[in-house]
Amino acid sequence: MKLRLLTLACVLASLLGGCALVPSSGAERRTVTVWLMKGSASAQFLERFTEEFERAHDDLDLDIRIQEWTGIGEKVQAALEAETPGGPDVIEVGNTQVPQYVDGGGLLDLTLESLRDWGMRDWLPGLAEPGRQRSTQYGIPWYAANRVVIYRKDLFEQAGVAAPPKTREEWLAATEKLDSGGNQGIYLAGQDWYTLSGFIWDEGGDLAKESGGVWTGTLDSPAALRGMDFYRRLQALGKGPVDADEEHPPQAEEFAKGRIAQIVAVPGQAAAIVQQNLGLDGELGFFPVPGKAAGTPGAVFTGGSDLVVPKRTDQRDGAVAVVEELTGAKWNTELARTMNYVPNKTTLAAAVAGEEGVAAMAAGAARGRATPSTPEWAAVEADNPIKEYMTRVLTGADPRTEARRASRRITEALAVPLG
């Protein structure tokens, strides 16, 4: 009887303005606009994700808009500063780009969700750290990619190198064996500063450090100098140009010409190598960049993407739901398998264990790092003193003198606010 009376009361109340106990039968659907970068996810993946997301969230529609990397920085900044609604609610950004958007104050604080719901303690550090400022999390790791060693199995066998090296000293010894009989032990361009960064981090050094809000270049620290010395010894075991980076000429093209035993590159370059030299099909292998101790891969620069939510979004709950799903275990592992990425958590590495190149990449990503987390770092890369420093050392200049010079230039660049 009480149930019938309550129901009748709600019906009467609905005629006068509604009753909270009676759900609306035709709730208006809301649209969440998502900007993703071209090539980050396949069309098929996005179709599956959209279909399942909208089925699970019957009040939300997804509008996924694919963006080009060229000019994206200015476009994102404009969207974050826009006063009118209708802009993106979720944006994919490069992991090292997050600090410049944080600096403008336009991103939503996602620290609570990260701690409570999203398992941030397991995130890859190279994705998580650039998205964090003073313990506040703005960028949520989505996927990663990093360098591994791509090697010629046949040349390893000919040189009597039975297995990929596990430590840096083993790597040097193996490369010395490989660097004979007209073969290059390794092709390592003199200005591959991303690879150098890993060696510096392995030694406990940094490219720059912050203290009291002031950034200082630290290439002249003892640890950073040890990293450069290892780079010098390794680079000498091949014919990589000392005055150019890994893209001038493209190292995959050089490798494809033959007689090069190893390069340091993302695994995806193996396909480009085979495309240019079909004779190498089946001859390429992968292993993580070795660290100082067996069982611990070397530190590597981690590239990839984070997802951010503009502070001005008028679809906060919907945007957070999209980020939660895309970065959660189900869709993150599916993306990694589909696109040959590293998942965003160390605990998900097993999801890509069946693919040799990606498995090697995932092992290294566990010790991945990113460039210094300051928006001014873009000014350092624009007129990169690290490259000049490397060339000078590789051509015989005093490492300490050149490191101090480069560190001063880094400090000066980081002292000038962008914009």
Pairing of strands 262-265, 284-287: unpaired
Task: Kindly tell me if the per-residue pLDDT of 137 is higher than 50.
Answer: yes
* Residues 69-73, mean pLDDT to the nearest whole number: 91
CB 298 within 8 A of CB 291: yes
Task: Kindly tell me if the per-residue pLDDT of 213 is higher than 80.
Answer: yes
What DSSP character marks residue 212? T
Interatomic CA distance for residues 165 and 171, integer angstroms: 5
pLDDT, one tens digit per residue, over 373-417 is 998 998 999 899 999 999 999 999 999 999 999 999 999 999 977
Give the pLDDT band of residue 83 (cuts 50, 70, 90).
Answer: confident
What DSSP character marks residue 259? -
| Region of poorest pLDDT, from 24-28, 39-43, 165-169, 189-193 | 24-28
Interatomic CA distance for residues 135 and 137, integer angstroms: 6
Of all residues in the chain, what percent carry a pLDDT higher than 70? 93
CB 241 within 8 A of CB 189: yes
- Sequence letter at residue 275: Q
CB 261 within 8 A of CB 185: yes
pTM, two decimals, is 0.86
CB 406 within 8 A of CB 385: yes
**What is the phi-psi region of residue 212: left when phi exceeds 0, alpha when psi lies from -120 to 50, beta otherwise?**
left
pLDDT, one tens digit per residue, over 325-368 is 999 999 999 999 999 999 999 999 999 988 999 999 999 999 99
What DSSP character marks residue 279? G
pLDDT, one tens digit per residue, over 300-324 is 999 999 999 999 999 999 999 999 9
Upper half-sphere CA count for residue 268 (Cβ side, 13 Å): 8
Nearest to 377 by CA among 208, 211, 227, 126: 208
Interatomic CA distance for residues 335 and 327, integer angstroms: 10
Distance of CA 103 to the CA centre of its chain: 20
pLDDT reported for residue 215: 96
Q: In terms of DSSP H, where are the helices of 109-163?
A: 111-116, 125-128, 153-158
**Which neighbouring-strand residues pair with 260?**
184
pLDDT, one tens digit per residue, over 284-296 is 999 999 999 998 9
Give the pLDDT band of residue 72 (cuts 50, 70, 90).
Answer: very high
